[in-house]
C-alpha cells in the first residue's frame, strides 16, 4: 500500500424507520459511506429515534450505562 489519498466520508439521506419503542416511524437512519477515487464503500450506518433516543446500534456493541 503506497497510496495516501483521503477517503471522503459521506452520510446518506436520512430515512425514517420503525421504532419498536414508540411504535411509529420516528427512527432516523442513514448509511455512512467512504468514497475514494477507486470506489465507494459502505462503512457503516446509524439510526437513532428522535422521540426516545433508542438506537439499534447501541444495543449491539455497548453495555447499558445504568
Ligand atoms: Zn422511539
1-49: pLDDT as tens digits? 556 778 899 999 999 999 999 999 999 999 999 999 999 999 999 999 9
Q: How far is the CA of 52 from the centre of ligand 1 (A)?
A: 4
Q: How far is the CA of 40 from the centre of ligand 1 (A)?
A: 31
Q: What is the pLDDT of residue 66?
A: 58
For residues 57-61, average pLDDT? 68
Q: What is the pLDDT of residue 44?
A: 93
Q: What is the pLDDT of residue 7?
A: 87
Q: What is the pLDDT of residue 58?
A: 79
Scanning the structure block, which residue is given the C-alpha cell 414508540?
Answer: 22
Q: How far is the CA of 54 from the centre of ligand 1 (A)?
A: 6
User: Is 58 in a helix, a strand, or coil?
Assistant: helix
CA nearest neighbour of 26 among 16, 14, 36? 16
Amino acid at each position: 500500500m503506497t497510496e495516501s489519498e483521503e477517503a471522503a466520508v459521506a452520510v446518506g439521506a436520512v430515512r425514517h424507520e420503525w421504532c419498536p419503542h414508540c411504535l411509529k416511524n420516528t427512527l432516523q437512519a442513514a448509511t455512512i459511506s467512504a468514497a475514494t477515487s477507486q470506489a465507494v464503500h459502505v462503512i457503516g450506518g446509524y439510526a437513532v429515534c428522535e422521540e426516545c433516543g433508542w438506537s439499534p446500534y447501541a444495543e449491539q456493541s455497548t453495555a447499558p450505562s445504568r
